[in-house]
Amino acid sequence: MRIISRNVNGIRACLNKGLNEFINNFDPDIACFQETKMQIESNFQEFSQYPYQYYSNAIKKGYSGTLVLSKIKPINVIYGIDGEYDDEGRAITLEFNDFYLINVYSPNSKEELLRLSYRMEYEDKLRKYLLCLSLKKPVILCGDLNVAHEEIDIKNPKNNLRSAGFTIEERTKFTELLNNGFIDTFRFLHPSDVKYSWWSYRFKAREKNAGWRIDYFVVSKDLLKKVKNSLIFNDVFGSDHCPICLDLYN
């Protein structure tokens, strides 16, 4: 099984930049998108090969939003996190026979860390939610988690210690999640690889590869034996984020 995740930074714009071709070429069983930035009201004809399409729109137009495409019919679909964060379209959970898949777009703490306290509350609620689900069956968390966990995950760590996405507070929350029985699949399988998944549009960051790894597949420890590979396709363009992939043994 192949699962793809990508922050598309506007799905219509990304479709115009080759998103459909990428999906057709890699043919994932499930595709998870974040920051769709549109009020989705019906299935995408561009993705007609995916009969099961689930979307969560932000109330604010042109903001946030998540989407999941699946060739496999889920047992159940849950929007939000324990009844919260649905107003910003932050999360969709699909329950399958062998696992839960949670597609999230974690809130950015913003410039001057204006939303850091909101982010901390979100992290605690997300972790609690994942732990509750994991009591029933294994969990796969994917999406733009808006945190570069370690210094290896960011080009210029010393210059970003108080930047949103690399604060000690955000990184500590991610560590706490991992300490509660979850695995960052890419870092587990590729402990020394330097790869990024997001680059600012400013200062020719992508040309210089001055990026951050903030997109993840995180799994329950008991699912690790089914993980075949965790990949970052940083040669794929069309958004300020590149796609990431989780391959599972059938």
Active site residues: 105, 144
Q: Take residue 48 and report the two structure tokens written for it.
A: 């007609």
d(CA 219, CA 140): 5
DSSP for 218-239, please give it. EEEGGGGGGEEEEEE-TT--SS
Cβ-based neighbours of 33, under 8 Å, separated by 6 or more:
5, 6, 7, 8, 11, 66, 67, 68, 69, 103
CA 206 to chain centre: 20
Q: At what angle do helices 168-179 and 116-134 cross, to 10 degrees?
A: 10
